[in-house]
Structure 1
Amino acid sequence: MRVPFYMQIRQYIMDHIQQGKWKPNDKIPSENELAEKFQVSRITVKKALDALVEEGIIYRIQGRGSFVAKKEDSEHIIYPNNVSQQNSSKLIACIIPRLNSQFITIMMSEIEKLLAQHGYRVILCQTYDSQQLETQILKEVLRLGVDGLIIYPAEGETYNEEILKLTIEKFPLVLIDRYFRGIGANSVCTDNVLGAYEATKHLLELGHTKIGIVSSIPEGTTSIEDRIKGFEKALTEYNIPIDHRLYLLDLHLTLEEHDHINKDKIKNFLSNHRDITALFLVNNGLTVIEAALEMGYTIPQDLSMIMFDDYEFSHLHKVPPTCIRQQETLLAQEAVKLMISTIENPLQKRQQIFVPPKLIVRSSTDVCQTSTNQHVD
């Protein structure tokens, strides 16, 4: 993903200041000079300079131009060599979409426990999958003087300017569960391609060839996009044609008020695709199982299902689901390890860490009974 021009200009100015090429009270190039150098409009340059003025990095004098601020006027600027354990507030902000699943709860609990062992306290904030709220929270916790950020990005989010800015400035930051394509930020994620591949392979080895896939909207959420990629990779390796008619990819997020809408979509999808003998559930797994049972399907005899993610007491469910279980504890350990390492050395090379998930076979998958599902409501 291309970095916006105004961010490139901003980083160019920051680099010159941090490297000592431009010292306090030095005049920086004019808007016209920067516009010509970067081949952009003055409006783009002005946006970059306005951001730097707001952060206290530069100041303007009407009719004279823009100048580098004095050190005491810009102490809040995030410079790589400013992070030290001696001045540390020992505070980490964890920003998550919502605390509504076993996966997130276990992972956050482990992160809090491990950070406490390193002497850090945790601020936990929920964005409810709102990028606007995520940006607002980021600014608020930075004003509190946190030493680092662990961020579980909002669903559907492809890019966040604040996160890009912090990454460029080498602020200690780790993304979990998802990452942003084109932004070289630290991240710790489940290997979603591998997990989806193993899930689909499990169904294929049971003899299923008409396999549907059910998901919320994938665009902008790397975890979902990667699971679809893994699903298609397995089909291709087994020489099964990819049939997009067997894709249902527009379910809502897992909220109670959307359950009836999701169930209607699922029931309509199953009614229109009687030849499906198995489903790979990217998310919203329980809702799909409930909808199928309400239609009179017997699982797994009529329809095998495998879901990504486990849930609490799943083994006690009417149909204990076969699933791909993410290793929440290991994800938390890797995230904290990378967080501490980045605080101690903000200039280190950024890392993308992928943790393999586990296949857990229960009662919702079985050998394919027939090539065509003859079930009637």
Structure 2
Amino acid sequence: MNETSSKPLYEKIFESVKKQIVTNVYGVGERIPSEKELAEAYKVSRITSKKALELLTNERLIVRKPGRGSFVADPDTDFGPVPAATQAPASAFKAEMTTIGLVITDFGNSYGTGLIYGMEEASRDHDCFLVLRRSFGIPANEELSIQKLLHLGVDGLIVFPAQGEYFNEEILKLVISRFPLVLIDRHLKGVSAASISTDNAEAARKATAFLFELGHRHISFLSPPPTDTTAVEDRVEGFIQAFAEHGIAVDKDLWVSDLTSTLPNSFNENNIEEDVQRLMAHLKRRPEITALFAIEYNIALLAKAAVERSGLRIPQDISIICFDSPPTGLGGGYAFTHIRQNEEEMGRLAVGHVLRIMQGQAVPNKVMLEADLIIGDSTAIARQEYP
């Protein structure tokens, strides 16, 4: 395998094995190396070696016998004339349809649905199946979902990892084995795994700069407890960067970073009420706050409830800005000023990247998409005195 051409790896394997068949290294009826053996010999994934064997089958160079292996075909017996009434359609010799597994924490109208729309659209365009499993943000569910999809025989995987300090063992195994894998909304530190996400740092910087333009200086950053998730880290970085660019000192005492009701398996009435009360107490303790930056939509809803129950007005007394917000047409909800991520493009790119990896092509290690700032009803010029 010293070729330097730009051909996909599976084509190089195909041509190598074909040459060995044509030159009688493997004679008619002889067994050729299996998917696993080819993958190990050429140091590629089994998806790549499987594709090479499918090409050999399509050219009628081999016959594949379930449970036994692949054998060099005899053109006169293996592919001899067949009566017209019993001839199989030409599609019988084509490869089976490609299947891509998707493991996602969850999805809703504020975030996630657009991702799936984009993936479905791309899978139709490329004539492949998409199989969905939800982990609900629980690492154990995520591992089990990956295992089940691999057992099902998916050709590639797209994973939206659960929030947490570490990626689960199954994801690391996929990276090490070079299985076609694309991560969504996260990137794996120190490990070469393809990822597609929003440019979260730039998006947060843009949203914070907008608040500065409105005259806000005392801004409270609202988030769950630190989880070492790259998306969260990047948003914090962008928030702090905006302060630095405007020459304003960051006051972390204004932040609230222990909101837990929006975490997986924590969304219940008791936890929601505790978080709302926590925010109300914070606003009472720090009356100089004029704006709240919520790291996600559900936290923005908590903030809205806390502000209104404190007798304050949005946006006259307190402005709120957040990441993601559902469409507001036809009574769809409150129109927050928010960062809108390009979910559908993210989904389309994820499918395209998986398919290219399967074909042995190189893809960027990290793709970050620009997000848009959408002005809603929740922001206004900062008030000049305490309410």
TM-score for the superposition, normalised by structure 1:
0.75
Q: Name which of 246, 257, 272 aligns with 1:259.
A: 272
Determine the structure 1 residue equivalent to 2:49. Answer: 82
Determine the structure 2 residue equivalent to 1:35. Answer: none
- What per-residue deviation string (whole Å, max 9, x for no partner) do you get for residues 212-255 of structure 1? 10011232211111101100000111111111101111212532
- What per-residue deviation string (whole Å, max 9, x for no partner) do you get for residues 42-86 of structure 1? xxxxxxxxxxxxxxxxxxxxxxxxxxxxx7695798447425283
1:97 and 1:126 in contact (8 A); partners too: yes
Matched ranges for 1:267-306 at <5 A: 267-283=280-296, 284-306=299-321
Matched ranges for 1:293-332 at <5 A: 293-313=308-328, 316=331, 320-332=335-347
Matched, 1:100 2:108: yes
Task: Report the Cα offset of residue 256 of structure 1.
Answer: 3.9
Matched, 1:219 2:227: yes
Matched ranges for 1:149-298 at <5 A: 149-254=157-262, 255-257=267-269, 258-283=271-296, 284-298=299-313
Q: Please give the alpha-carbon distance, in whole angstroms, between the structure 1 residues aligned to 2:268 and 2:295.
A: 18
Looking at CA atoms only, which structure, 1 or 2, has the larger radius of gyration? 2
2:163 and 2:227 in contact (8 A); partners too: no
Change (3 A) 1:133 1:319: closer
State the one-letter code of the partner of 1:330. Answer: E
Determine the structure 2 residue equivalent to 1:121. Answer: 129
1:176 and 1:187 in contact (8 A); partners too: yes
Task: Report the Cα offset of residue 315 of structure 1.
Answer: 8.5
Change (3 A) 1:188 1:95: same
1:207 and 1:367 in contact (8 A); partners too: yes
State the one-letter code of the partner of 2:327. Answer: E
Q: Please give the alpha-carbon distance, in whole angstroms, between the structure 2 residues aligned to 1:201 and 1:315.
A: 31
Determine the structure 1 residue equivalent to 2:380. Answer: 366
What is the root-mean-square deviation in Å for CA atoms of aligned residues?
2.4
Matched, 1:133 2:145: no
- What per-residue deviation string (whole Å, max 9, x for no partner) do you get for residues 156-199 of structure 1? 24322221221122111100112222222100001100110010
Task: Report the Cα offset of residue 322 of structure 1.
Answer: 0.7
Q: Please give the alpha-carbon distance, in whole angstroms, between the structure 2 residues aligned to 1:84 and 1:315.
A: 48
Task: Report the Cα offset of residue 269 of structure 1.
Answer: 1.7
Change (3 A) 1:315 1:184: farther
Task: Report the Cα offset of residue 299 of structure 1.
Answer: 0.8
Q: Which consecutive residues of structure 1, in runs of 5 or more, have no partner in the other structure?
A: 1-70
Q: Which consecutive residues of structure 2, in runs of 5 or more, have no partner in the other structure?
A: 1-32, 55-94
- Secondary structure of the residue aligned to 2:140 is helix
- Secondary structure of the residue aligned to 1:201 is helix
Task: Report the Cα offset of residue 106 of structure 1.
Answer: 1.7
Change (3 A) 1:140 1:242: same
Identity of aligned residues (%): 32
- Secondary structure of the residue aligned to 1:187 is strand
1:158 and 1:180 in contact (8 A); partners too: no
- Secondary structure of the residue aligned to 2:278 is helix
State the one-letter code of the partner of 1:196. Answer: A
- Secondary structure of the residue aligned to 1:158 is coil
Q: Please give the alpha-carbon distance, in whole angstroms, between the structure 1 residues aligned to 2:136 and 2:333.
A: 30
Which segment is superposed worse, 356-365 or 216-225? 216-225
TM-score for the superposition, normalised by structure 2:
0.73
1:83 and 1:343 in contact (8 A); partners too: no
Q: Please give the alpha-carbon distance, in whole angstroms, between the structure 2 residues aligned to 1:180 and 1:224.
A: 14
Size of the aligned set, in residue pairs, is 303
Q: Please give the alpha-carbon distance, in whole angstroms, between the structure 1 residues aligned to 2:241 and 2:329.
A: 28
